[in-house]
Amino acid sequence: MIEKCAAIILCQRRLLVVRKRGASVFISPGGKISEGEAPIDCLRRELREELCVELVDAEPFGTHERAAADEDSMIRVHTWNVTVSGTCTPNSEIEELRWIRGGDTHAVGSVFAECVMPELIRLGRLDA
């Protein structure tokens, strides 16, 4: 089981997703928790590395398990609603970022497509 942290970043009722260099699937900003690292510290580190932003606030959203979109294994993803400072800019292994609506699940990893996005739509925070 791979354990990751993921950020839910919303702007104007759209969700930020990222695509790693060489990948075709968009995923949430975040990444794998290093041994001995607290999940919130992982989230802070990954946001800084991938998007060049600083974590200001994080509210737990949920933990979800699914088959990984980009690896041949199961994944457990701890998700947070986050507020960041700075402008999200692709960095490190991130090649592209995209702001999507709730109906744009065709190219998004399973955890966000099947768990997070439907709940955000239900809560009225993400446009369908």
Distance CA 117, CA 64 (A): 12
- CATH class in words for 2-122: alpha beta
Q: Specify the range with the lowest mean pLDDT, choosing from 25-39, 57-71, 88-102.
A: 57-71
State yes or no: pLDDT of 67 exceeds 70. Answer: yes
The string of DSSP codes covering 9-36 is -EETTEEEEEEETT--SBB-SEEEPPTT
pLDDT tens digits, residue range 3-19? 999 999 999 999 999 99
User: What pLDDT digit, counting tens, does each position of 68-107 carry?
Assistant: 756 678 889 999 999 999 999 999 999 999 999 999 988 8
Answer yes or no: is pLDDT of 66 > 90: no
Confidence of residue 48 (pLDDT cuts 50, 70, 90): very high
- Whole-prediction pTM: 0.92
Domain borders along the chain are 2-122
- Percent of the chain past pLDDT 70, that is, above it, reads 97
Q: Report the C-alpha gap between 12 and 22 in whole angstroms.
A: 29
Q: Take residue 80 and report the two structure tokens written for it.
A: 């947070």
Q: Note the pLDDT of residue 70.
A: 61
The per-residue pLDDT for 75 is 86
Phi-psi domain of 51 (left: phi exceeds 0; alpha: psi -120 through 50; beta: other): alpha
Beta strands in the chain (DSSP E): 2-8, 10-11, 14-20, 30-32, 54-67, 74-85, 94-100
